[in-house]
Amino acid sequence: MSNLPTIADVVHAPGLRLECLAGTPADQPVDQVFVAEDLLDLRAAPPRTVAVLGAHVCAAVDSYQFDVALRLAAARGVVALVLGEEAARPPTSTSIDTAERFGVVILRPTEPVNLADLVCALDTALRGSAELALRRAVVAFEHVTLRRSADPEALVAEVAQTAAADIDLLDEPDGEIAFPVGLDEDAQRWIVVRDPSARTRPELALIGRLLATTLALAALAERRARELPIRSRAELLSELLDSSSRGRSELLRRARSMGLPIDGWHLVARIEFGDEGPLWSDEVAAFAAREELGRVALDAVRSSGTWHLARAERALLLVQMYRSDPGSTAAADATRVLQRALDQAIGTLSGAVLFCGVGSAHGGPTGLINSAAEARAAATAVRARGRANTATAFDGLGLRRTLVEWYASQTARNTVDTVLAPLDKMGPTKAAEAIRTLQAYLDNHGSLSRAAAELHLHRNSVAYRVERIFTELDVDPDNPDDWLLLQLACRARGLV
């Protein structure tokens, strides 16, 4: 049902004194006022219009041209013609018959009136006065303030009734005016003003925007209330994993008070983004991606036990907690669950490159720290091997496990980079060749012949390379400690 005023409402509006010369004012809906200074102007009249005729048109009201213009107005969907002068002659019987046949009402002021005043009075009768529009907006605001916690659909329906307008909450912006509930790019629902008079009633834009903002804030508050416990536990676990043993006791007390089974068994998984790609074009986008990854991953693993979020630097940690020892298959079971979480995250975050390491299950607060260290080592190993988007358990790293665990620390990586920096300056290809030659020489206990055989090179070529390498490196080849450090550095680089 239309909420537009009818021509009968207009004729009987306060302040308007109009007499009907032809047609019957009834329930024909009226949208706007149109002014015609010439008969031909009626060709541009919009439908559902009250057309006010100027002096030039009124002078021809008893001519055949007026009858032609009347037919033209009817074809355009004009509802009524208002003679702009009280002294205008009445239409001919032919024009009256035409008006009756096509349902067009012909009106005339009953007393002298300025054309501009007549147009303004008609416009006020259609749209309501500014005072009425403001009152509707105020009442809508008061209603929203009192009922902001109501069901969204019910709130919109109540406000629409208050505003005497057609306003809906829809999944698509399909209407005269639409306002997103939330940010445009994230909006899933819209406040839609479907009322045909929306663009001539400015208060409806205010009311629509008010509803959209109110619903968006309510949804945000609900989401924050839902996520607050998750965020609180995530922040506490992040602090705990990053703390020293000296300051850990207070954090453990807080964890127990929050109901976290911190004295049980723990398994930690670490998920890291790749360092390149569009997600890292700016820090805001990167933060949003990490937040979305946390939400998707936690939703994916939630059905497979008790999981909590934590964060470490740019990495996301998923912590599974058990009241008792989960047994030897815990890491394998968790790895399968985390692979499903990775698959879902990749589907949600287009173009994401993820590296995931899974620690073993350990008991007690110290076990939590140890499992996190293992997860970090495993993530470092899969990154080094280029095994993106694959969950890998620390227990599955084989004989390299100890080396990976050592190289996972930032101190070890810094040491390796410092030691091999002179070779890295040669460029990627030459550096890789030099490190491979050095490792073969060290692994064969300084034997040039065996190193040459392993590298498929002439002994003199290996001798030349080794001499040049040690010239570049700031180490003593006769020092056992330097020898061991070089072996570890070469093997760690072999992971990469």
pLDDT digits (tens, 9 = 90+) for 336-362: 999 999 999 888 887 788 999 999 999
CA atoms within 13 A on the CB side of 170: 16
Identity of residue 152:
P
What CATH homologous superfamily does 411-495 map to? PucR C-terminal helix-turn-helix domain (1.10.10.2840)
Contact 6, 27 (CB under 8 A): yes
User: CB under 8 Å to 493, separation ≥6 — which residues?
Assistant: 416, 420, 435
pLDDT beyond 60 at 332: yes
Least confident stretch, 14-18, 73-77, 385-389: 14-18
Compute and round to an integer the Cα radius of gyration of the chain: 40
Contact 232, 215 (CB under 8 A): no
Q: Does domain 261-399 have CATH number 3.30.70.270?
A: yes
The strands making up 80-83's β-sheet, listed across from edge to edge, are: 18-22, 105-109, 80-83, 49-53, 32-36
**pTM score of the predicted model:** 0.45
pLDDT beyond 50 at 1: no
Q: What is the pLDDT of residues 180-194, one digit of tens each?
A: 887 666 677 888 888
pLDDT beyond 60 at 417: yes
Q: Which of the four CATH numbers 3.30.70.1170, 3.30.930.10, 3.40.1390.20, 1.10.3210.10 does domain 7-127 have?
A: 3.40.1390.20
Measured distance CA(33)–CA(20) in Å, rounded: 17
pLDDT beyond 80 at 297: yes
Contact 35, 58 (CB under 8 A): no
Q: What is the pLDDT of residues 235-278, one digit of tens each?
A: 888 888 877 666 678 888 888 887 888 899 999 999 998 865 44
Measured distance CA(341)–CA(348) in Å, rounded: 11
CATH 3.40.1390.20 occupies which residues in the chain? Answer: 7-127
CATH 1.10.10.2840 occupies which residues in the chain? Answer: 411-495
User: CB under 8 Å to 72, separation ≥6 — which residues?
Assistant: 39, 42, 43
CA atoms within 13 A on the CB side of 320: 27
